[in-house]
Chains A and B, each alone.
Chain A
Amino acid sequence: MAAADDLKFQEFDDAANLLAANPGATTISIDEPVQIPKNQRSRLQEPGREEDDELLGTDDSDKTELLAGQKKSAPFWTFDYYQTFFDVDTYQVLDRIKGSVFPVPGKNFVRLYIRSNPDLYGPFWICATLVFTIAVSGNLSNFFIHLGKPTYHYVPEFRKVSIAATTIYAYAWLVPLALWGFLMWRNSKVMNIVSYSFLEIVCVYGYSLFVYIPTAMLWIIPERVVRWVLMMFSLCLSGSVLVMTFWPAVRDDNRRIALATVGTIILLHALLSVGCLAYFFDAPEVDFPAPIIPAHNGTTVITKSVSKVTTPVSPSVQ
């Protein structure tokens, strides 16, 4: 078992040697602005692999540089260093988004789509879009829910944009940081087969948030059941991307730790979506409380508006 896995990872270094040793091997050249023709394909994989291969994916779906080690050689204070994180084309970004929305059961998102070319474009702009989508949708939904109520005056609620931005960017960067630190720590104790770099984890989290963008737009519908169904659905989709990515990384660890890690990942993800729904979107049947008005007979009456019908309530207040 260990030998097969060792060989599998050596293939990244030996691909050039393999090609040199077998110049007649079928190669596929992809039309792309890189200097090195892409020669690594599933031919270089050994036949008869077991489930690790399924979970870790093949090389087909993304085009990576053959000599990936040469990519990040610029020192971190130069502009070129950061340019390596934006080395993606339009179709690659679209492919990764598609992979996060339609997770193939059994395929690992990182191995399938990222393949040692993590980018920061996707996570950053998906988070930015999500921030504004949630703020705008929340505002719209509140507007439609309270439309027609006599005491309601529309406000753009611009404060919520900064709150949304802080929350979502903190989630998309701090949780991967914590997870990466935790995985590094466990790696030092237990030799794991799979380990991810920090940027790959950021990438997975960023792209997994994409499914919340259409969900937030559909949350405008002021039906409680619809909103919860939508949330469950999107939580399943993005949660499955995360679980399928991180399960191979903790699988070989202590059983309880592995389950606790995956459980925490899902719990934090669920907390994010529940929190966003609760904070930015008013509940559909909540009565908009009217101010206390003094009644004619001297007792104080609180007028409650219940779906546009105003009924005076007895002085027993809640």
Chain B
Amino acid sequence: MRDLKAVGKKFVHVMYPKKSSALLRDWDLWGPLVLCVSLALMLQGGAADSKDDGGPQFAEVFVIIWFGAVVITLNSKLLGGTISFFQSLCVLGYCVLPLTVAMLVCRLVLLAGNGTVSFIIRLIVVVAMFAWSTLASTAFLADSQPPNRKALVVYPIFLFYFVISWMILTFTPQ
């Protein structure tokens, strides 16, 4: 119960990113795991033609999120960051929450139709959530970097969430 409350508190922190270090101090990976699994599940059932050229499989989404988070953490540590490995993983994982919400909204919108209007709505939602994710994780992670290397650390985070947003936006149902 205590752990559930901690996870819930962190979700709230991500949606309203203030400069608090509660996320950084008590890291846990439950939230990222739940988010990653639910995002990967929602990305299933995408269109695929006979050449099997469809959307990402469950394992691919999983690997992209975790491997991407590990690589970004290693990158920030190699550049001289002071944040610990698991704290960084925790922050990056929790900041996938806005994109998971975007995926949920996209699936609901796709239930209503697959035309141009639905695409525009999905585009706006995904772009907004992508910006939210990137800003939230930057707000948490930027302070632990040396000041003349901040952009070098923020860019891979931007790329990471961009790839996830692309997967969400290009999801087309069967």
Contacts and interface: CB of A to CB of B under 8 A. Distances in A.
A81 to B, nearest CB: 10
Contact of B162 (A90, A132, A156): A132
A153 interface: yes
A125 B48 contact: no
Contact of B146 (A33, A121, A129): A33
A33 B80 CA distance: 12
Contact of B170 (A89, A132, A139, A153): A139
Nearest to B56: A158
Contacts of A88: 149, 152
B46 A156 contact: yes
B34 to A, nearest CB: 23
Interface string A258-273: 0000000000000000
Chain A contact residues: over half helix, strand or loop, or mixed? helix
B148 interface: yes
B1 interface: no
A153 B162 contact: no
B28 to A, nearest CB: 24
Contacts of B48: 155
Nearest to A93: B152
Contacts of B77: 79
Interface string B46-64: 1111001111100010000
A153 B159 contact: no
Interface residues of A, number: 26
Contacts of B80: 83, 86
B146 A156 contact: no
Interface residues of B, number: 31
A94 B170 CA distance: 32
A90 B151 contact: yes
A154 B146 contact: no
Contact of B156 (A82, A85, A125): A125
Interface in A107-162: 121, 125, 128-129, 132, 136, 139, 153-160
Contacts of A125: 75, 155-156, 159
Given A132-B162, A156-B170, A86 B54 contact: no
A315 B57 CA distance: 41
B137 to A, nearest CB: 17
Given A89-B148, A90-B152, A129-B159, A156 B55 contact: yes
B78 A155 contact: no
B140 interface: no
Contacts of B150: 90
B78 A86 contact: yes
Contacts of A82: 78
Interface of B: 46-49, 52-56, 60, 75, 77-80, 146, 148-152, 155-156, 159, 162-163, 166-167, 170-172
18 contacts: A33-B146, A79-B77, A83-B80, A86-B80, A88-B152, A89-B148, A90-B148, A121-B78, A125-B156, A132-B162, A132-B166, A153-B49, A154-B170, A155-B47, A155-B55, A156-B47, A156-B172, A158-B56
Interface of A: 33, 79, 82-83, 85-86, 88-91, 93, 121, 125, 128-129, 132, 136, 139, 153-160
Given A82-B78, A91-B148, 6 more contacts: A33-B146, A90-B150, A121-B75, A139-B170, A153-B49, A156-B170
